[in-house]
Structure 1
């Protein structure tokens, strides 16, 4: 894996970065640690945003009289926004820079989160959920690309694993906070708390998040040389006297670039695999508190099921990043997803509380761990100048599955089907998602 990543990085600033790192940069610099940590913090907002709605859903449904089907609409509204942000806005980062896109998206997230907590009618809540999702979908591809690009040689998968761990960490903290806050302050005040958290992240990103060194060299905006050399000082790299001719200066990547050079098979397979993975992941994350209730848990214990599911996700996302330095990431995704498919069916059975929580931990480890591998897989496939576009389109297309998953779950649950049949309907696409991921080959395989 390390050899593959070194080969992929050849050329441009990334090639220099990895070559210099191999000779004089053992381990991590402070800048690299700070960038990956900040990207992880930003990704925690995704976990917080998705899970807060599922945690407040039982109280909201009781307060406003919301049906299963309408809860599915509420869950999916934010996911529609994420899909649109990933496809329409995230590719702007390859033409205008990662940093401005991330900062703008954080502002949108904060506005949407405050609106969600202040409204008093369901249609307005759906609109602000859509706006919040738009911001999250826009920034995730850029922060994933930054975490990947600032990683030391051979550590890209680990960096992406840490970045992806931000999602379940945010979800777990949100779950624990919700267990305490909803009874104390109400579900809408709890939503306002997430808006305060989003607003607090913004100044950290403004003052600490650097621009991508790869972007600065490939696009060469005004002052690019000085900015690159300032970053190279912090990365313990020699200064540059001049920059090479820019590549495609000012031109935005086109969708066709993701299909050229023999990439079309990998791109289409990646899209389908992520689509199916999102379908299952967001069905589980959106519905797990209510599903735990349907499986026989009390309302209070069902919130714990959601929290421990994401505790397992932390282990899963970090472990797959570590394992990916030793094994093929596609093979690992398949193993994780197949285990997750089995545990989905097991979770539908009536069990004691301790066993339900143990299975929930295993599901989180397998499903979220396997899914987090898609970011590393996508980063391997695409060159630097189209990486945000490649990841953005893959995640954007995939988020179509995240929209369908909660809606389909609401429909199936509304039909009063046996719970094991509902879970089987999602275990099958999860197994297929992992199988397809194992067929995808990175750029080094296509050369």
Structure 2
């Protein structure tokens, strides 16, 4: 990683401030919460734009007289391109900065989503979607890094979990917009509205979002900007100072460090955890309603089951993140993984053997969401604590990129798993929870930074 050299001769007589300790031990100020709100808005639009093709697909099939199978290559290719975007976005974020990378990514997928409204064929739509999914992947690691690096240690896991819950909320917003716009205004209005909202959020990010202080502290020429950000965050720092951080010995760390000891084990373990988390979640997202419909439940119950899974994830992530802030990131996740394994293995047999009351179906999917979806959200909090600040965005981006293989697998194997029945369906979720727990145990404990 290219970092400007520290001008020791110019800063030797300046007061030295431990930036990391200052933020970690400080209060959670309104300015820091504003950064959380801005990044959460960006992630919400990320979730909306990511799922918008699924909402528009029935209308597109009717308008263009295409079967559902015609869209499968677009969906699968989009997931693969998004994984490339995650790695590329993390690399750019650690070099050019979290702020410009995030703003550019959100603006790009907003423009590409809006442009999708003018597509007249599947290849034209696919081109717009490939651009948007590349940018969607790039946004997430930088938003996560910004949130974590502005948050005090005792609120870091909660902050990251709140921001990542916006992915789920983005899907809920997308569902509401689709129900309102599609019947009256059509699929073009849906893409235009989502793109317009995203561009509006891009303008807000451009005007209000600051750069991460943990990124700025390694850029001596941006020392004045670092001071402004710290003072706006509520810290009393002098007009001129020199940072003294625990990461000062790591200024030249780069992406190769992720694949060498001591970080190699963490990179592989987190990649595996993301893989199984995304496998289980995408299995439910893409095939949960189809599973219930295949069992004979009506569309209302199928939709309620999918919604309950998402709402369960919100509850699980919020409770789990509070435990992570109190007891550290690893053990609460391992406990949730064990409980999730037991719970999901019990749900399958409970819902087998014919139709059951809708309330029981909804409860089963909600319980699975508490653990499966909750663990996936909590993984981001673990990831930001696992990697040092100079390569935090790259670490999150690379592990998420490798983990997206699970999203492709969950989407691709879904039809086979659905055909096998509801017991194997939930058994896959249980095994995914177990695999996440094992992978989390392999991540080294590390002091927050």
Same fold (TM over 0.5): yes
Q: Which moved more, 1:177-186 or 1:42-51?
A: 177-186
In structure 2, the partner of 1:363 is 368
Unaligned runs of 5+ in 2: 1-15
8 A Cα contact 1:161 1:319, kept in partner: no
- Map Cα deviations across residues 360-387 of structure 1 (whole Å, 9 max, x no partner): 3223322221111111111111111111
Unaligned runs of 5+ in 1: 1-12
In structure 1, the partner of 2:125 is 125
Change over 3 Å in CA distance of 1:86–1:178 after alignment to 2: same
8 A Cα contact 1:169 1:311, kept in partner: no
Report the secondary structure of 1:359's partner residue.
helix
Within 5 Å, which residues of 2 pair with 1:45-194?
45-61=45-61, 64=64, 69-194=69-194
Q: Please say which structure displays the higher CA radius of gyration.
A: 2
Deviation at 1:209, TM superposition (A): 0.7
Report the secondary structure of 1:351's partner residue.
coil
- Map Cα deviations across residues 142-190 of structure 1 (whole Å, 9 max, x no partner): 1101110100232111111111121112222222333333333334432
- Map Cα deviations across residues 178-207 of structure 1 (whole Å, 9 max, x no partner): 333333333443233222221221111111
In structure 2, the partner of 1:233 is 231
1:439 aligns with 2:437: no
Q: Which moved more, 1:53-62 or 1:36-45?
A: 53-62
1:377 aligns with 2:382: yes
Change over 3 Å in CA distance of 1:311–1:401 after alignment to 2: same
8 A Cα contact 1:333 1:438, kept in partner: no
d(CA) in 1 for partners of 2:23 and 2:194?
A: 41
8 A Cα contact 2:317 2:375, kept in partner: yes
Deviation at 1:104, TM superposition (A): 0.9
In structure 2, the partner of 1:393 is 398
Deviation at 1:84, TM superposition (A): 0.7
Change over 3 Å in CA distance of 1:65–1:93 after alignment to 2: same
CA RMSD of aligned residues (A): 3.0
Report the secondary structure of 1:218's partner residue.
coil
8 A Cα contact 1:55 1:178, kept in partner: yes
d(CA) in 2 for partners of 1:197 and 1:226?
A: 33
In structure 2, the partner of 1:6 is none
Q: TM-score, normalised by structure 1?
A: 0.85
Q: TM-score, normalised by structure 2?
A: 0.84
Deviation at 1:39, TM superposition (A): 1.3
8 A Cα contact 1:179 1:303, kept in partner: no
Residue correspondences, number: 424
d(CA) in 2 for partners of 1:59 and 1:301?
A: 22
1:201 aligns with 2:204: no
Change over 3 Å in CA distance of 1:439–1:309 after alignment to 2: same
1:418 aligns with 2:401: no
Change over 3 Å in CA distance of 1:423–1:293 after alignment to 2: same
d(CA) in 1 for partners of 2:155 and 2:106?
A: 27
